[in-house]
A and B are shown apart, each in its own frame.
Chain A
C-alpha cells in the first residue's frame, strides 16, 4: 500500500512526512518525527497521556488519524519550553511535586495549557474539569491541581 504525504506545523516548524494509511498522529509524532513527548498509554482515549493541541484545541493524538492534521498546527510538550527557560506550567509542576513517575505529565501539561490559554484565571473546579480526561496513578491529583492554579496565579500577577 502506498504511503501518503503529509505536511503540518509541529511546534511552529513545518514538517513533511510519509505515513501509512490509518496511522495515528501519536505514531507519526513519535516514530516519524522523533518527538517522544506525547506518550502511548491506552490507545483507547481513556488516559490522556498522548494529549496534544491541534490548532490550539486539546486532542488525543492516539485517536487522531494522522492525515487529518494536514496543513494544521500541532503543539506538543516538546514545544512548550521557551528557549532555555521552562514554561511557567513546567516550573509550577516541578515546584509543587506534580510529577512522580512522570508518565502522565506530558498530557497533564498540555491539558493545563489548553485551559490557561482559554481561561487565564481558572477556578479550582475549572482545573479539575480540565484534567478530567487525564489519569495519574501516582500523585492523587492534588499536587497537579495546585501546580496549575499556582501557574495561573503567577501569570496573573506577572
Chain B
C-alpha cells in the first residue's frame, strides 16, 4: 500500500507533522519503519523525514557526550573519541545495518534488538525530544517506560556520561548466531570507582523485560563496595530480581532468568 512521504528541512517542521498525525512514523535509517512497511503494517499511512544537520551532529568533547538521533552506528565506530561505545555499536547487525541504523532508532527497537540502548541506559542517558509542546529532556529510563506513547514525538539526540576509564564501563551481548545475531540477553555496567569503592553503579539489561531495564537490586549490591568476589557474587544473585523476560525463538524466559546472573558475574569479573 502506498504511503505519503513528507520530507522537511528542519526538525521543528518534522516534529509538527509527526505530532499532528497518529498514523505518521518518523523514518530514520529505515531498519524498523521500512521493515514494518515491507510486512504490510497498515497502521502507517505517512512517513515523516527531516534532513536537518542537527540530527547527525556528534559532540564528544565533554564529560557528557551527545549523539544526534540520526547518527549511524558506522559513524559511532569511526569516531575515536567514542571508543567506549565501539563494542556496543559493533555488536549490532552486519556492516549494512550499521551503515543504516541510527542511535535514535535503536531507542525504539523491540526485543531481541536495541542493544545500543542497553549501553546508553547504563551510562545514565537522557533523550532530547521535540513534540507539539516544544523540546524537553527525559531520562532514558522514563522514555523507555512510555516508549509506546512516544511515537508522536521526535527524538532529536541522546546524551550520556563518558566513563572515567575503560574498565569503568563493560558491555556483553549473548547471541546464538556468531558473529552477529539477535540478543539472548544483553548486559552493560557502569561502575565508577571513588576511593576504591563503587559510587553510582548502573547495570542495564536487554531482553530481560518488554524494554531495556536497570537491574536495581544488583546495583544496590555493588554500591559503596569494592569489586571483590563476594560483592560480584551478591550482584550476580540479585541480577534476576525485577526482570520479566519473555520466550522467543532465541531463548525461553526460564533460560534467560537462569543465565542473567552467570553473565553478570562474568562481566563484572572481567571473564571472557
Residues of chain A at the chain B interface (Cβ within 8 Å): 1, 4, 20-24, 43-45, 48, 51, 57-60, 62-65, 67-68, 111, 114-115, 128-134
Question: Which of these, A4, A45, A129, contacts B179 with CB under 8 Å?
Answer: A129
**What number of residue pairs across chains A and B have CB atoms under 8 A from each other?**
89
Contacts A22-B5, A65-B30, A129-B179 given; indicate if A43 touches B38 (C-beta within 8 A). yes
Taking the closest CB of chain A, its distance from the CB of B197, in whole angstroms, is: 39
Residues of chain B at the chain A interface (Cβ within 8 Å): 1-5, 7, 27, 29-31, 34-35, 37-39, 47, 49, 74, 93-97, 99-100, 179-180
Question: Which of these, A1, A4, A59, A129, contacts B96 with CB under 8 Å?
Answer: A59
Question: Which of these, B7, B47, B97, contacts A45 with CB under 8 Å?
Answer: B97
In contact, A133 and B97 (Cβ under 8 angstroms)? yes
Chain A residues lying within 8 Å of B99, measured Cβ to Cβ, are 57-59
In contact, A114 and B4 (Cβ under 8 angstroms)? no
16 contacts between A and B (CB under 8 A): A21-B2, A21-B5, A21-B47, A22-B37, A24-B38, A44-B38, A44-B39, A45-B35, A45-B93, A57-B74, A57-B99, A59-B96, A60-B31, A63-B35, A64-B100, A111-B95
Nearest 5 CB-CB pairings of A with B = A133-B94, A22-B3, A43-B38, A20-B2, A63-B34
Question: Which of these, B31, B47, B95, contacts A129 with CB under 8 Å?
Answer: B95
In contact, A132 and B179 (Cβ under 8 angstroms)? yes
